[in-house]
Amino acid sequence: MGDHVTLTASDGFRLGGYRADSVTPAQAAIVVIQEIFGVNAHIRDVCNRLADAGYCAIAPAIFDRITPDFQSGYSPEEVAVARRFVAAPDWPAMLRDTQAAIDAVRGVGPVGIIGFCLGGSVAYAAATKLSGLRAAVGYYGGAVARFADDRPLVPTQLHFGEKDSGIPLADVETIKAKRPEVEVFVYPGAQHGFGCDARASYDAPSADLAWRRSLAFFAAHLR
């Protein structure tokens, strides 16, 4: 359904990405931000599902500055390799590359952003710092609590798993306390990565509910 694309960031860096367009002309676009596993099959599937829902979806390869076209699965060995990419994350660079994706689809219509894992944190940061967005959704972003002093400039919705070993519920409560205007959902029994059907932690009922909530949120704000 989708195609490889090349994006250009404000500093001139050229990065890859994946874009999926709906069969009928889209009236809005959504930027999809990857986990630490690159623009892999899961992220491309998210783009395709958004295209099926009537959106133009684009996923920038935000690790291209380190290793072009890095993609990974979810085995323990692959997870260990992927974690090296975020040992010292370059947030400004990732946001520049995210802005490049936003700019690439501005002509379609209103633009939203959705991110998973690392991408959930990037999506939140983008909502507080970048231009051209109308709504933001983040799934299990571990750095959101650290960024919570920054107020989103657009409506924002966040999703967390109750049993996420990497994101304590205390962090979720911090986000709720600091950002009461943000819509926050916690899924009972769900672990980190519950929205990805390629992971052992996939939780279909939680994933389905979170996806419905995400689509409803975008439908309300990307008009």
Return the pLDDT at 135: 98
117 catalytic, yes or no?
yes
Q: Residue 219 class from Cβ within 10 Å (0-12 exposed, 13-18 middle, 19+ buried)?
A: middle
59: DSSP letter: E
52 catalytic, yes or no?
no
**Catalytic member of 192, 196, 203, 221:** 192
Beta-carbon contacts of residue 134 (< 8 Å; ≥ 6 apart): 28, 110, 111, 112, 154, 155, 221, 222
**How far is the C-alpha of 98 from the C-alpha of 126, rounded, in Å?**
8
Return the pLDDT at 133: 98
Return the pLDDT at 171: 98
Return the pLDDT at 43: 98
Return the pLDDT at 161: 98
Return the pLDDT at 61: 98
**Catalytic member of 21, 64, 97, 164:** 164
Count structural domains, the chain: 1
Return the pLDDT at 84: 93
**Catalytic member of 47, 64, 103, 117:** 117
Boundaries of domain holding 151:
3-221
3 catalytic, yes or no?
no
The sheet that has 29-33: what strands, in order across it? 3-8, 14-20, 56-60, 29-33, 111-116, 135-139, 156-161, 183-187
- In sequence order, which ranges of the chain are alpha helices (DSSP H)? 41-52, 76-83, 91-105, 118-129, 144-147, 169-178, 204-221
How would you write the pLDDT of the chain (223 residues) with one tens digit per residue? 799 999 999 999 999 999 999 999 999 999 999 999 999 999 999 999 999 999 999 999 999 999 999 999 999 999 999 999 999 999 999 999 999 999 999 999 999 999 999 999 999 999 999 999 999 999 999 999 999 999 999 999 999 999 999 999 999 999 999 999 999 999 999 999 999 999 999 999 999 999 999 999 999 999 9
**CATH number of the domain residue 8 falls in:** 3.40.50.1820
Q: Are strands 56-60 and 14-20 parallel, antiparallel or unpaired?
A: antiparallel
